[in-house]
Amino acid sequence: MPALPEPAGRALVRRPGPAVADGLLTHLKRTPVDAARALEQWTGYVAAFTAAGWDVVEVPEAPEHPDAVFVEDTAVVVGEVAIACRPGAPSREGEVAGTVATLTGLGYPVLRMREGHLDGGDVLQVGMRIYVGTGGRTDAAGAAEFARLIEPLGRTVRPVPHGAALHLKSAVTALPDGTVLGHPALAGDPPAFPGARPVPEQSGSHVVDLGGGRVLLAASAPRTAVLLADLGWTPVPVDIEEFERLEGCVTCLSVRLRRPPQTVPAPPPAPGGPGRAEVGT
């Protein structure tokens, strides 16, 4: 029997609970959230990873925590090391234990933060540089401790103040070649991201590298999908409307555990098109 291909990576996800509609809001007015439809959309989100060759691992459910589906905020994985976050919202602190247990079970050493607060949604990895958004749920003390933990791994940390969106990755993310995407209304500190490319929709600001030139994004950003296709990428839109009502996006619904870059196929470059950089959005 021929050897099976290596998966593109592992995605940690957490099923939305029955109280998902009660999740915290910071910048949006509360509108009704259909929990059953949210579960359907979450299932479609997970299916996009599976179709792209990822292993999907479910973190234990936490029905007592409405925001637990936004599992990215509970941990950051840098290479082969995980950092357990200290969420900026006190009501979310109980979400971390399940993610830590899952990462430990997968063999990841887990470093624990003891000072300040940091949400995983505020951490954007682009190559060996890591941007940490501050001013929202992540504070300066949390960003500083995170830097102390991961700089021995060879990464450089740059704090980026922001305030127009819940998390840094609600405002900017990066394509597989390292190009940063952001909407002008949300991008925060433009000099922090030289060469950043503006997108036409706010929900187009957040993308996930699925490997093989495929880029996951919200179905609510069709013009951004066209832009990505014109740049040589294959857009993979998913409907996450119910989560968008809760300030969620395609990044915060998973923690991505990536294989070494050389085992992830690069997209076929179009003339003058994109290459590839190690991106851990």
Contact (CB, 8 A) for 186 and 205: yes
* Start-end of H helices in 85-190: 96-105, 140-150, 168-171
For residue 208, what are the contacts with CB-CB under 8 A and spacing of at least 6? 173, 215, 216, 217, 250, 251, 254, 256, 281
Is 25 annotated as contributing to ligand binding?
yes
3-state secondary structure of 257: strand
| Active-site annotation holds for 117 | no
Is 73 annotated as contributing to ligand binding?
yes
3-state secondary structure of 241: helix
Rounded CA separation 228/226 (Å): 5
Is 216 annotated as contributing to ligand binding?
no
Q: For tokens 């993310």, what's the residue? A: 173
Strands 9-13 and 255-258: antiparallel
Rounded alpha-carbon distances, angstroms, from residue 55 to 12, 115, 178, 202, 256: 9, 33, 24, 29, 10
Is 189 annotated as contributing to ligand binding?
no
Is 92 annotated as contributing to ligand binding?
yes
| Active-site annotation holds for 85 | no
Q: Active site residue: 65, 167, 183, 206, which one?
A: 167
Residues making up the binding site: 25, 67, 72-73, 92, 137, 246
Residues making up the binding site for substrate: 25, 67, 72-73, 92, 137, 246
Residues marked active site are found at 167, 252
